Chain A
Amino acid sequence: MLNAFYPVVTPANFALARAVRPEYFAAGVIFGSKGDKLRLPDGREWDCIVNAGLDVSRRSWSAQLIDPTAVGTDDPFALTEGPLVPLDAEFTFPPRDPTAFSSLVAGELAPLEHDDGILAAAAQPAVEFTGAQDLDDSFAREIDQADEAHAATLAALDADPISDVLEASAGGATVIETTTGDYNEPEPPDIPEPDPGDGPEPEKPPPPDF
């Protein structure tokens, strides 16, 4: 019918034929990005335009059933079977065995038995640290001298009586007095207001339309 009445193979003619002659389409629905496929109510899908993406002269009407499960025998780019398989919906997990976890833990711990020697050997380098003497020498060279200097500073501060410090600071209040006198300096002259000038030029009206 399409070949007889619609010689120009276009999706528009396909849609026109579907509207004008619905009996030939078995209540199918046109779909697809190019409008070249037909989906029947039973779910089957048909590709009705060959080379729909090419020039009109290369297209042709056809009725090719789209089988999503079809495997191309001569597909040079066929995918190889991967490690993942679809889940089996009928599969049910077996009932949980309460002793399974204990046996697993026991099985993992069994190889570690009688391996205390390995742990002892691993801890041995930390015990046999040989830098203790160096650490003591460094402490005596750096820390002890600083400690002695700090003690000397504290002794000098203790020797200085606090009463002398208080007497020295008490005289400062008579030298600088900031709160007992009124402000008696003359006021500075006022700054004259700046002249704003003539201001910007007023905006001119737009020219009349002719």
Chain B
Amino acid sequence: MEAPDLTLELTKVIDETTPKRDGTFTRTKTYTFYLGRFGPFVERVPRDPTLDESEIGRRIEKLRQHLLMMHV
């Protein structure tokens, strides 16, 4: 069976700051994207203390693997 198309399509990338009830803030970079016809997926990568640029790539890869397993 042919593997599905899981091409990444980013639709929105924003920096979010969410206040918590204890007075502190949660700073994240939020990615909204599709993998082929699957999605939308929304993933929040923390920016505190620093943003790990590779984290979103690892998450996308995990989702791809899961979708491929579902297809098999």
Residues of chain B contacted by A1 (CB below 8 angstroms)? 41, 63, 66
Q: For the complex, what is the distance from the CA of A21 to the CA of B32, rounded to whole Å?
A: 12
User: Does B17 count as interface, using CB distance less than 8 angstroms?
Assistant: no
Q: What does DSSP make chain B's interface, helix, strand, loop or mixed?
A: helix
Residues of chain A contacted by B43 (CB below 8 angstroms)? 21
A-B residue pairs in contact (CB < 8 Å), sample of 14: A1-B41, A1-B63, A1-B66, A3-B66, A4-B59, A4-B62, A4-B63, A5-B59, A5-B62, A20-B44, A21-B42, A21-B43, A21-B44, A23-B42
User: Does A24 count as interface, using CB distance less than 8 angstroms?
Assistant: yes
How many chain A residues touch the partner (CB < 8 A)? 8
Binding site for A on B (CB under 8 A): 40-44, 59, 62-63, 65-66, 69
A175 vs chain B, min Cβ distance (A): 106
Q: Digit string of A1-20 for contact with B (CB within 8 Å is 1, else 0)?
A: 10111000000000000001
Q: Closest 7 A-B residue pairs measured CB to CB?
A: A23-B42, A4-B66, A4-B62, A4-B63, A3-B66, A5-B62, A21-B42
Which of A4, A20, A21, A24 has a CB less than 8 Å from the CB of B65? A4
Residues of chain B contacted by A21 (CB below 8 angstroms)? 42-44
A161 vs chain B, min Cβ distance (A): 113
Residues of chain B contacted by A23 (CB below 8 angstroms)? 40, 42
In the complex, besides A4-B66, A20-B44, A23-B42, 14 extra interface pairs with C-beta distance below 8 angstroms are A1-B41, A1-B63, A1-B66, A3-B69, A4-B59, A4-B62, A4-B63, A4-B65, A5-B59, A5-B62, A21-B43, A21-B44, A23-B40, A24-B42
Chain A minimum-CB-distance residue to B66: A4
